[in-house]
Structure 1
Amino acid sequence: MDRTVPRPMNWNGTEYHIQLSSEETGGCIGIFSSVCPPESGPPRHVHEAEDETFHVLSGEALFWLAGAEQVAQAGETVFVPRGVEHAFRVIGPRPARMLTILTPGGFEGFFREMAEGQYRIPEDMAAIGAIGARYNMTFTGPPLAA
């Protein structure tokens, strides 16, 4: 398959690269990498249609899944089944590099829209929530506190 190298997308201080899009896999899977700054992370949310797998490449992050917390360091993987409320926060002084896999694919389009619009958290949560809903995602609470 002949494909171009994806250009980086930046949103809220995180750099995203779509590694494999749903368009390339017939909708089966979407994979993106990210470099997340210290203390960053998304608001609590639920994916209704996708399972989400995070593989930490470097750094570490605190993951919150339906009230249970776990720290994932470089080389560790966290699986979040669809329908489970979750969030994460990068901990420690270094950015965290992660590879995120969503099955089925398609959710990677959310990050394209966020980067294009440069929506801010918490100021633009109404717009972010409306776009998230188009990708079967519901925001359920704030980001994890430091």
Structure 2
Amino acid sequence: MNAHAQIAAPAEVITWLDSTYKILLTTAETRGRAGMFESIGEPNTGPPRHIHHREDEIIYICEGEALFWVEGRTFLRQAGAVVFVPRGKEHAFRVTGDGPARFLATLTPGGFEGFFPAVARNALKVPEDMPDICRIAGDFNCEFTGPPLA
């Protein structure tokens, strides 16, 4: 399948779990090759531990800092750093510091970027709605494996 150059549609903006997500590039625009989103998280927020079974994830920290947890290893990263999480690796992060952090995430192949509109549309919350969140995550080849980082 040949990919053609694309100009992405205007970004969809979603708010979920005290974070704002801007969907920048969808699988429809890349013929499945990649997805991209920007997220802005408030201090002490972040996703529950999870595994992307299909996508590699590349996270560029544009502003702020975050504590990352990947397969039991923790490390602090600040603006300008890049974190690569291969598919199949359990991971999570928590925004640290006094202000929000802004991330740019690229997923290859794409697809997971569709998760955020799906959970936001249903106003699902952690931990009370985890069964529904897990069901939706499964539709995007993602498995939640534990709580957010404390």
The TM-score with structure 2 as length reference comes to: 0.94
Q: CA RMSD in A?
A: 1.0
**Where do 1:5-44 residues align within 5 Å?**
5-44=10-49
The residue aligned with 1:101 is 106
Could you list the structure 1 runs, at least 4 aligned residues long, displaced by more than 4 angstroms after superposition. Answer: none
CA–CA distance in structure 1, aligned partners of residues 50 and 63 of structure 2: 24
1:134 paired residue among 127, 139, 142:
139
Aligned to 1:98, what secondary structure does the other structure show?
Answer: strand
> How many residues were matched structurally?
145
Q: CA deviation at 1:3?
A: 4.5
The residue type equivalent to 1:78 in the other structure is V
Deviations 1:85-104 (A, max 9, x none): 00000001110000001000
Q: Which consecutive residues of structure 1, in runs of 5 or more, have no partner in the other structure?
A: none
In 2, Cα distance between the equivalents of 1:77 and 1:140? 23
Identity %: 50
Q: Deviations over 1:14-41 (max 9, x none)?
A: 1111111111000000000011010000
- Counterpart of 2:127? 122
- Hey, what's the Cα distance between the residues in 1 that align with 2:12 and 2:109? 22
Separation in structure 2 between the aligned mates of residue 2 and residue 141 of structure 1, nearest angstrom: 37
Q: Is the 8 A contact 2:8 2:29 kept in 1?
A: no
1:100-144 CA-to-partner distances (Å, cap 9, x unmatched) read 010000111101101111100001000000110111111111000
